[in-house]
Amino acid sequence: MKKYQAKTIDEAVEMAAQELGILPSDVNFAVQEEKKGLFKKVTIEVYELSDAIEFAEEYLKNVTAALGIQSETTTVLKDDIIHISLNSDHNPILIGKNGKTLQALNELVRLAVSSKFKKRFRILLDINDYKDGKYSRVAFAARKAAKEVQKTKMDATLEPMPADERRVVHNALANFSHIKTESAGEGHHRAVVIKYVD
């Protein structure tokens, strides 16, 4: 990561873009320091996405090591989402009951990376393909509930779930006739409502 100083953020980004030979809109940066007043000065730190990925992997390894668990990670960037696959000799412990520990680890890594790089990142952590199986079960339950809503014409609210699982429900029911889905609630109580529409 390299730092650039200028009077404004735009000037600092322009300097970085010229040096890197890319468009200013393609520069990934975090504002490190911003002094106002007569001697206005801005310092930005420019990074590549690989820096954020490397930080996320290292952070996860440190967290699992602190728990006394050795782990390995494989990371792929797909559709602006950092997909991290973690494997260890204690996968069930890291997944937790109903995936709650996995969900907490995912949130912890996302917050650490976002805090370090001063930018919101979408990170999806999976352990031993647990999420794939979970997504299949969530989609199956959503389709079953949607068929019931079609039959009874009464709305149904699924149990609260994280954003990635809600997205699975919305996608699974996107082509169902007379069915509309929307998320309702706040924070950890956010759930998908399956509605009947004429």
Helix, strand, coil share of the chain (percent; to 5): 50, 30, 25
Same domain, 102 and 124: yes
CA distances from 126 to 16, 73, 99 (A): 35, 10, 10
Closest Cα partner for 105 from 75, 76, 84, 133? Answer: 84
- Statement to judge: residues 189 and 165 lie in one domain: yes
- At residue 86, the pLDDT reads 94
Is the same domain home to 77 and 142?
Answer: no
Residue after which a domain boundary falls, among 94, 128, 162? 128
Same domain? 67 vs 7: no
Shared domain for 113 and 159, answered yes or no, is no
Residue-wise pLDDT tens for the chain (198 aa)? 788 888 888 888 888 888 888 888 878 887 888 888 778 898 888 888 888 899 999 999 999 999 999 999 999 988 888 999 999 999 999 999 989 999 999 999 999 999 988 888 899 999 999 998 999 999 999 999 999 999 999 999 999 999 999 999 999 999 999 999 999 999 889 999 999 998
| Same domain (yes/no): 108, 68 | yes
Whole domain around residue 147: which residue ranges?
Answer: 132-196
pLDDT at 32: 80
Question: What are the residues whose beta carbons fall under 8 Å from the beta carbon of 72, sequence distance 6 or more?
Answer: 86, 87, 88
Q: Is 124 in the same domain as 146?
A: no
Domain of residue 179, CATH code = 3.30.1370.50
N- to C-terminal Cα separation, the chain: 55
CATH code of the domain containing 79 = 3.30.300.20
Cβ atoms of 173 and 124 closer than 8 Å? no
Is there a single domain that holds both residue 64 and residue 110? yes
Same domain membership, residue 72 and residue 34: no
Residues 150 and 165 in one domain: yes
**In this predicted structure, what is the pLDDT of residue 54?**
93
The predicted pLDDT at position 186 comes to: 94
Same-domain check for residues 123 and 139? no
